[in-house]
Amino acid sequence: MNKDRFVRSGLNTTGLPAAPLAGAAHHAGNMGADQLDSWQPHVIPAADGQESDTRNDIIRRGLRLAREERPREAVRYLKEALAADSAHGVAWNNLGVLYQQNGALGLAMDCYGRAVKADEHLTMAWLNLGWGLLLKGQAGEARGCLQEVVARESENSAAWDGMAEVHRQAGQMEEAVLCWRRAGRQGMDRRTAWVRSADILLDGDDPAGAVSCLRRALLDGEEAGVWARLGYAHSLLGQDAPAVRSYSRALELEPHRPGVHYNLATVLLGQGRLREARRHLEAAVRQEPEDAHAWSNLGHTAGELGALERSRWCFERALEIDPACHEAWNNLAGWHEQQGDRVAAAEGYSRALDLVPNNSSYLLNRALVLASMKQAEEARKDLDELCRRQPELAEMLHELPAFRNMASPSHQKVEGT
């Protein structure tokens, strides 16, 4: 997933009135998921100063084999050691780490469980078990393991990191933020803690709080990803000018960020700055050629600037990449309508509606083109469905010239008696 891509905005070439254009804000920067992806389990090393201790010899040899990238031999050695001493908690933990590093999370979880049963004071095994449960989506069970860790080591940043993820998955955003910050105070660098706090606030629909956290993060040094998030937060607040400045600064620091080019273009399109938007959309598709949404919006922008053939080519390219890109179907239909091909336009709007049946904008677009084709019965069905969905717009819709003479009986005006 492209972590720069926060806003997806479907655009409509027809410029029709009434219902809003398709598209909604989408925050893809789930830092909790990133943290899960990057989690690495911890081995427990042998105790120093105990060279002759057989138990420590087992640990050292197993770790040496693992470091030499001989995991099969390391696993076999630790299994043999555990066959002789099944209560060897450290060996169980390290065997679990080997399993997890080689993709066998289920076996690893069993080993971590055996480790804490053998020795309930093995803090690192509790930590590995807690994060393993998070990886399996069992946040409720992970909480107890991580609490065991912070009860023993109140400054363990990895445990506070995990507790934040537990709270995030439970929708407890305020508690999650406190844990991220606690993790930052206890070892995690401050900027990372502020950025993760901001991501949680964005997930919790608090963009203003996220802006505050991200500005604090920038005090510890600039980073393109932080500026990109700040741009997204400002865009959610409707603050276009600071959004443009933030996205632009992100691109100054790292020009190769297609998602940021896309987001900046989206804001610029809203401001009517078409040529600047086109430049950033061209960069987005150059850097990420398989992004159907960027191709669709580039097609819209090209059409608005009069490059009609380029516009159509972009819509078709978007649909070649992703036939389920409903924005592209809607935009291509608008292109056909502008060219006078109403049949193709109606078909395009229908394809868009097949993909997202509840989109009122697409339904209005189809109703208008059907009315222009004198297909009154079909247009009336779409109109009635629109009025059912948005009754507050019924009177306005029936006053549109295209629909004025086709009102259903429930919307007919009765002249004075």
Task: State residue 28's pLDDT score.
Answer: 33
CB hemisphere CA count around 323 (13 angstroms): 2
Pair type for strands 7-8 and 24-25: antiparallel
33-38's contacts with Cβ under 8 Å and 24+ in sequence apart are 34/3, 35/161, 35/165, 35/196, 36/131, 36/134, 36/135, 36/165
CB hemisphere CA count around 280 (13 angstroms): 25
The pair of structure tokens assigned to 280 is 């950033």
The Cα-based distances of 226 to 185, 231, 405 in angstroms read 19, 9, 54
**Residue matched to tokens 């608005």:** 304
Task: State residue 409's pLDDT score.
Answer: 42
Residue 42 backbone class (left: φ over 0; alpha: ψ -120 to 50; beta: rest): beta
The Cα-based distances of 10 to 59, 69, 260, 363 in angstroms read 57, 49, 16, 15
Q: Which amino acid is at 259?
A: G
Measured over the CA atoms of residue 257, residue 261, residue 262 and residue 263, the dihedral's sign is positive
Distance CA 179, CA 350 (A): 48
| Structural contact between residues 184 and 193, judged by C-beta atoms closer than 8 angstroms | yes
Distance CA 249, CA 48 (A): 49
Angle at 41 between CA 53 and CA 204, to 5 degrees: 150
Distance CA 94, CA 100 (A): 10
Distance CA 359, CA 336 (A): 20
DSSP class of residue 22 equals S
Q: Domains (ranges, CATH) in the chain? A: 1-15+261-266+291-404 (1.25.40.10), 39-188 (1.25.40.10)
Q: Which amino acid is at 193?
A: A
Stated pTM of the model: 0.65
Each residue's pLDDT, cut to its tens digit, for the chain (417 residues) gives 233 444 333 333 222 222 222 222 223 333 344 444 445 666 555 443 344 455 556 666 666 665 656 667 667 767 777 776 777 778 788 788 878 877 788 888 888 898 889 888 888 889 989 988 888 888 888 999 999 998 988 888 889 989 988 887 777 777 887 887 787 766 667 788 788 888 888 887 889 989 998 998 998 889 999 999 999 999 999 999 999 999 999 999 999 999 999 999 999 999 999 999 999 999 999 999 999 999 999 999 999 999 999 999 999 999 999 999 999 999 999 999 999 999 999 999 999 999 999 899 999 999 999 999 989 889 889 888 988 888 887 788 777 777 766 655 444 433 433
| Structural contact between residues 46 and 91, judged by C-beta atoms closer than 8 angstroms | no
In degrees and rounded to multiples of 5, residue 84 shows phi and psi of -85, -30
Residue 205 backbone class (left: φ over 0; alpha: ψ -120 to 50; beta: rest): left
Helices 292-304 & 274-287 angle (0-180, nearest 10): 150
